[in-house]
Amino acid sequence: YAEENLYSCSTDTQSKIINIIKEKGLNRVVVASCSPRTHESLFQDTIREGCLNKYLFEMANIRDQCSWVHATHMPEATEKAKDLVRMAVARAVTLEPLHQSPAEIKRRGLVIGGGVSGMTAALELARQGYEAVLVEREKELGGNLQRIYYTADGADPQALLASLIEQVEKEPKITVYKGAEVKKSSGFLGNYATEIITDTGDNVEVEHGVVILATGGTEYKPTEYLYGQSDKVLTQLELEKNIAEGNEKIKKLDSVVMIQCVGSREEGHMYCSRVCCTQATTNAIKLKERNPDTEVYILYRDMRTYGMNELLYRQAREKGITFIRYEAEKKPEVSEKNGKLKVNVFDSTLGTKILLEPGLLVLSSAIRPQADAEEFASKLKLPLTQDKFYMEAHMKLRPLDFVSEGMYLCGLAHSPKSISESIVQARGAVSRAMTILSQPYLMVGGMVSVVDPDRCAACLTC
């Protein structure tokens, strides 16, 4: 029996499939449509309601693996789709009923990374009544939050940091390992075992049901614009520290130039670091508030003070901060002669070159993934994007999940983002983890991988 439907995943069609299974006495079901990654479980639940074992189902992915990738070759794509359907039907003939059994869940979460995202995730797990193990490789908790002194909305990051550390260290349900690293991890959803090397060199094995990855990111240390060669060239984080500490030299500056997109939106690192424009604008306003006579110039490619931060951009304009646009092909040129900085920039709006002689040059350097991201990802068998940030299972459908079930991500490990966005994402990751930890048990078995010793070449590809 076969028929066509416009949307096989719709509620009406699901009910129709259940009725057809019963009316026709079907013993196998093949659906040719979307990706099994997103829809297989839906159809398995449907045929189970039709009194069929859910493993007597096969899916032909003629959308993602055929029509989408061969959109300009329709006749050939149609023939390929027919072949995929034939293959699915042939496999369905060999399917046998499989059964699952209940398995205990280790009601503990492992949080890797002790920055703002990691500490938030550990605290939220504890508040839900579950144990959390927090692993931080540095000697102190805090991550990048240790170097941030104020935000665009007027919050106090250092007060937040102190509060989070105090709460984490006082919470009896949270076990903290500082100066520790994850050595290896094994297991499956609800039943993981991870080996941790502590700061004393001891090996500790932790059993847990879920993993939340919050390993953070790092600030790019520029190799251009005389950074590291002149004491008059700083990054935005370094400027922020000077402003927060009340450095008198900063207050007395006649002029400051800021260059945006240093290490971002260029060959090899095409992504936007998201917070740089807001951070630069905030620091520029702080400079103006301390000394209204300081001339501040922001050299930008595109100002991305998104959302309510657009009000910050307006405030900067009103305070007399000058914004000069440059093109990626004509980057500013920086030189130093007799202790004086010179910045040559081509203003793409005016169509003319401008020479600036600032007392201080500030670089809005990029947010980069951790240097050992690839090595660490291989330990946990996790995917990375082309930029070496960790990659979610699906941008829209599973934005906080890894492809491996029971593993979740948050914070700068995922992509550049603000403190508030990192906190929100950490809470979201915990809410996803709760869908596992809160269950009475997990059903395991059914379709599992086994090694056939007669055919295995020990290539280790699997």
CATH number of the domain at 278, please: 3.50.50.60
Number of domains in the chain: 3
229 part of a folded domain = yes
Give 211-257 as a DSSP string. Answer: EEE---EEE---SSTTBTTBTTEEEHHHHHHHHHTT-HHHHT-SEEE
Same domain, 209 and 240: no
Same domain, 183 and 270: no
397 part of a folded domain = yes
61 part of a folded domain = yes
Which DSSP symbol is given to 266? B
Write the burial class of residue 417 (CB in 10 Å: 0-12 exposed, 13-18 middle, 19+ buried).
buried
Same domain, 426 and 389: yes
Single residue among 302, 337, 365 that ends a domain in this structure: 365
Measured between alpha carbons, how far is 56 from 164 in angstroms, rounded to an integer?
50
126 part of a folded domain = yes
34 part of a folded domain = yes
Same domain, 343 and 383: no
Nearest alpha carbon to residue 433 among 186, 182, 132: 132
Contact indicator for 342, 357 with CB cutoff of 8 Å: yes
Contact indicator for 192, 213 with CB cutoff of 8 Å: no
Same domain, 82 and 119: no
User: In tens digits, what is the pLDDT along the chain, a chain of 462 residues?
Assistant: 999 988 888 999 999 999 999 999 999 999 999 889 888 999 999 999 999 999 999 999 999 999 999 999 999 999 999 999 999 999 999 999 999 889 999 999 999 999 999 999 999 999 999 999 999 999 999 999 999 999 999 999 999 999 999 999 999 999 999 999 999 999 999 999 999 999 999 999 999 999 999 999 999 999 999 999 999 999 999 999 999 999 999 999 999 999 999 999 999 999 999 999 999 999 999 999 999 999 999 999 999 999 999 999 999 999 999 999 999 999 999 999 999 999 999 999 999 999 999 999 999 999 999 999 999 999 999 999 999 999 999 898 899 999 999 999 999 999 999 999 999 999 999 999 999 999 999 988 787 788 899 999 988 877
For the CA atoms of 259, 262, 266, 270, the dihedral, rounded to the nearest 10 degrees, stands at: -110
Same domain, 309 and 353: yes
Reduced to 3 DSSP states, what percent helix, strand and coil does the chain have, rounded to the nearest 5? 35, 25, 40
Same domain, 119 and 207: yes
Write the burial class of residue 168 (CB in 10 Å: 0-12 exposed, 13-18 middle, 19+ buried).
buried
Q: Which domain holds residue 349?
A: 221-365
Single residue among 365, 390, 413 that ends a domain in this structure: 365
Same domain, 286 and 268: yes
Other beta carbons within 10 angstroms of residue 81's beta carbon come to: 19
Same domain, 156 and 194: yes
Same domain, 164 and 275: no
Single residue among 60, 79, 99 that ends a domain in this structure: 99
Q: Is the pTM of this model over 0.85?
A: yes
Paired sense of beta strands 108-112 and 210-213, if any: parallel
6 part of a folded domain = no
454 part of a folded domain = no
Same domain, 137 and 43: no
Nearest alpha carbon to residue 423 among 432, 412, 437: 412
Same domain, 238 and 274: yes
Measured between alpha carbons, how far is 21 from 429 in angstroms, rounded to an integer?
38
231 part of a folded domain = yes
